[in-house]
Structure 1
């Protein structure tokens, strides 16, 4: 975590943010992929920093690329490639945005570790919802699973509706103690009229659909493989009542994982307006489940 000012440099058409050292916020969650002992048992060098924590490093860069409207109608679509551990230095990058045919702009974005390996890559956009985002392109190429054991009861097309979601202010305050890029709107309600949820917390509101949507068999260890947030009429606020709808988009597999993709839509519980959407891909590690070991 760092509270040093967010400054950028530009070279050869690439905009670079400052080097940061994200805190592994969930490192004390025993039995999770963020716990050193569990992660090492599964072949990782240590407890991994969650993808939603890495996503929180991008908003200041989004504001520089697209202006403050990104917080209301922007998109950030990230596919995770290289896990990092607590305090490892990472840096966000973007290429100059280009115009989209449907309006707004789109840019290539990514994060690198100290060795230059990509931690994640994807796209960011402003304007109308980006139906050609990095993850929507990835979804087109997903190969259906042939052997699912943890997710054997799940079906593509499964849905849930009207799942209540409300973010307690205490969750934001706890997150802000360790957040990589602190922003005024996360603490000062005067900026947007209410306290804005930090990205990792806003994502949690849209993840409320996971419990009714999935029926896994046996315990497992999972990790985020991809996250896309699309603000429709954002931002997401703390202590505000929302309703979430969810749909299972795809199920696939690899030699070491079962993979689930779902989309969630968050609506204001009072007036029904859509506020945001989430696409999330989760990797369920086969080595963590008795169904595979």
Structure 2
């Protein structure tokens, strides 16, 4: 069990406690979270998923902006260095500035105790931020010259009305490994329902991946994630529909890169609840297409 959360502010920067996130997917054989697979691809060991690192930021963002960020706000992170099971990391949120009328934005980042930067980006509250960390990075993405794993995918491909529902029993079991187990994850009276922790909420929007992309036979990892609440929060045991669209396709010497956007809507009234921007890296060394 983690020690109680305490934020320390110094020179306008909020620092959370040092935490040791658990690699909850370490038993997923053949994935980047599996020690043997990760080591074969050049990593130290099975990696902690980027969405797990999201768990450390909500109390800092709430301390900076107030709880309203869960209704209209977001967190946008680019992942720089992978960590392994139990490796200590610390989350930070900087001072706020006005991003747009009524919208405040602040830098957000995570480091290891020896100063290695794990992720960096922005968080915001009060409305939309068209100039978030990932939106800026997406605008700089160059088209790919040689795609093999993603050969069957095209920018602009889309899917609509993909059913999405977060099972409360499974999600509450997942809370045992959350570094910041906030009250709203277990007390439905605070927001009118059980709020999904960030890693779980992100999964609600990822349901578009399988029908959206025509790719198989590879090992992937998260390169960047942006979770934005349009009319949040996202609740457990609630029916949603998700729409997805491929935003960009690219490559690096070691990876193929896929960017997509997913919008989660309330299944009953069609109300947009949240949006995800995801950048995934598909390891070339894991695919027979690159041998």
State the partner residue of 2:197: 198
TM-align CA RMSD:
0.9
Q: Matches of 2:126 and 2:36 in 1, distance apart?
A: 44
In the TM superposition, residue 17 of structure 1 has moved relative to its aligned partner by 0.8
Matched, 1:116 2:115: yes
In the TM superposition, residue 8 of structure 1 has moved relative to its aligned partner by 1.5
Matched, 1:248 2:234: no
Instruction: Structure 1 unaligned segments of length 5 or more: list them.
Output: none
State the partner residue of 1:79: 78
Divergent runs of 4+, >6 A: none
| Count of residue pairs the alignment pairs up | 291
Instruction: Structure 2 unaligned segments of length 5 or more: list them.
Output: none
State the partner residue of 1:44: 43
Q: Matches of 2:231 and 2:93 in 1, distance apart?
A: 24
The superposition leaves residues 50-94 of structure 1 with CA deviations (integer Å, 9 ceiling, x where unpaired) of: 000001110010110110101111110000001000000000112
In the TM superposition, residue 101 of structure 1 has moved relative to its aligned partner by 2.7
State the partner residue of 2:290: 292
In the TM superposition, residue 15 of structure 1 has moved relative to its aligned partner by 1.6
State the partner residue of 2:64: 65
In the TM superposition, residue 234 of structure 1 has moved relative to its aligned partner by 0.4
TM-score under structure 2 length normalisation: 0.98
State the partner residue of 2:160: 161
State the partner residue of 1:174: 173
The superposition leaves residues 101-133 of structure 1 with CA deviations (integer Å, 9 ceiling, x where unpaired) of: 332210011000121011000000001111110
State the partner residue of 2:137: 138
State the partner residue of 2:229: 231
SS at match of 1:291: helix
State the partner residue of 1:280: 278
In the TM superposition, residue 16 of structure 1 has moved relative to its aligned partner by 0.9
SS at match of 2:288: coil
CA contact (8 A) 1:92 1:109 kept: yes
TM-score under structure 1 length normalisation: 0.98
In the TM superposition, residue 3 of structure 1 has moved relative to its aligned partner by 2.6
Q: Matches of 2:100 and 2:45 in 1, distance apart?
A: 43
